[in-house]
């Protein structure tokens, strides 16, 4: 992760290389020098996006405000970014919709594979971010997460009562 110390700042963070490439294209078309951190690794191993913190879109510090404006992120400083996401998050500046997508994916894995860890993670995300203002897509992901979590809890309860 880059910092203002090396003259570059992160203006966006995306969970997929494709999204980051779109952002890079927009910024390059506007004449802003852009670097994508973790793009090669996640291009080969996209399933490690959460572990590596996603693909960071990094620009020179003096072009950061203009880059955020071009990407539609508005003028945000480091404090605002940290308030919206946890450190190392691949979903910086995307809000509750992205957290609900994460919750739905974790709940799906929890109900299909190992019910305990992903289900608990999904329940944590639902409790922490599930009440925020979100789009229809975010509400749909929240509903999917709730349904999959209910399935996982039912499976665990069934197994516990039969043993």
Does residue 141 come out as left (phi exceeding 0), alpha (psi in the -120 to 50 range) or beta? alpha
pLDDT: which is higher, 111 or 71: 71
Task: Give the pLDDT confidence of 25-52 residue by residue, as tens digits.
Answer: 999 999 999 999 888 887 787 776 766 6
Please report which confidence band the pLDDT of residue 86 belongs to, taking 50, 70 and 90 as the band edges. Answer: very low
Q: What does the CA dihedral 27, 134, 115, 153 come to, rounded to 10 degrees?
A: 180
Question: How far is Cα of residue 88 from the mean position of the Cα atoms in its chain?
Answer: 10
For the chain, what percent of residues have pLDDT higher than 70? 72
Buried b (16+ CB within 10 A) or exposed e, 55-91: bbbbbebebbbbbbebbebeebeeeebeebbeeebbb
Mean pLDDT of 80-99: 48
Q: 33-47, 93-107, 141-155 — which is least confidently predicted?
A: 93-107
């Amino acid at each position: 992760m880059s910092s203002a110390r090396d003259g570059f700042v992160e203006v966006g963070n995306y969970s997929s290389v494709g999204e980051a490439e779109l952002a890079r294209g927009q910024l390059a078309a506007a004449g802003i020098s852009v670097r994508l951190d973790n793009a090669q690794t996640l291009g080969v191993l996209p399933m490690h996006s959460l572990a590596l913190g996603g693909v960071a879109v990094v620009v020179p510090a003096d072009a950061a405000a203009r880059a955020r404006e071009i990407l539609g992120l508005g003028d945000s400083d480091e404090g605002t970014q940290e308030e919206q996401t946890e450190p190392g998050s691949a979903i910086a500046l995307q809000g509750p919709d992205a957290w609900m997508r994460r919750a739905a994916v974790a709940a799906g894995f929890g109900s299909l594979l190992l019910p305990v860890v992903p289900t608990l993670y999904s329940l944590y995300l639902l409790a922490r971010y599930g009440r925020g203002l979100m789009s229809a897509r975010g509400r749909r992901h929240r509903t999917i997460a709730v349904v999959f979590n209910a399935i996982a809890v039912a499976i665990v309860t069934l197994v516990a009562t039969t043993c």
